[in-house]
Amino acid sequence: MVEALVAIPFFILMFICMVFIGDLYRSKLQTHRSSLELAWADSLAGCDTTTRGPMPVSANIDLKDAAGAPGAALCEDGFGILTETVQGGVNRPSPLPSGITQTTTTTTLICNEKPETGDFDGAADFLWNLYAPPELKTVSP
């Protein structure tokens, strides 16, 4: 009987802590999934309105040196950075100190794509802008 009086509260506390850690992990997964979803949804519109600058891993590389290489025109516009942050929280159970434990996830995407229409005109504009001299390139609406 004495052993049960000592052991049962310990196991109840362990069970409560396991449930809390499971809820905390579930909240972290939800914020991670939501952050990824928001970042990718924003990237579908292109990166024209985001922060522009050199891609971090190529900060010391001058992409203008490769101007004659095939596909180099894709890298000359600079890169946009999309950042999305999502917050969540879990209430602590009563045996633990009261309050809410916050979970936060931030997702950052680096992109330089501009959306193109999927029809023949969009493909023709893309190819024209890829190989045309700078003064003859067309501006997409």
Digit-coded pLDDT (tens) for 107-133? 888 776 555 556 777 777 777 777 777
3-class DSSP assignment, residue 99? coil
Q: How far apart are the first and last CA of the chain?
A: 80
Residue 122: predicted pLDDT = 72
Residue 46: predicted pLDDT = 65
What pTM does this model have?
0.57
How many angstroms separate the CA atoms of 125 and 120, rounded? 9
Digit-coded pLDDT (tens) for 32-78? 999 999 888 887 766 654 444 444 445 555 555 555 555 555 555 55
* Strand order, beta sheet including 79-91: 51-53, 79-91, 100-111
Residue 68: predicted pLDDT = 55
Residue 51: predicted pLDDT = 46
Digit-coded pLDDT (tens) for 81-98? 778 899 999 988 887 788
Q: Where are the domains of the chain?
A: 2-114
Residue 61: predicted pLDDT = 56
pLDDT classification of 9: cutoffs 50, 70, 90: very high
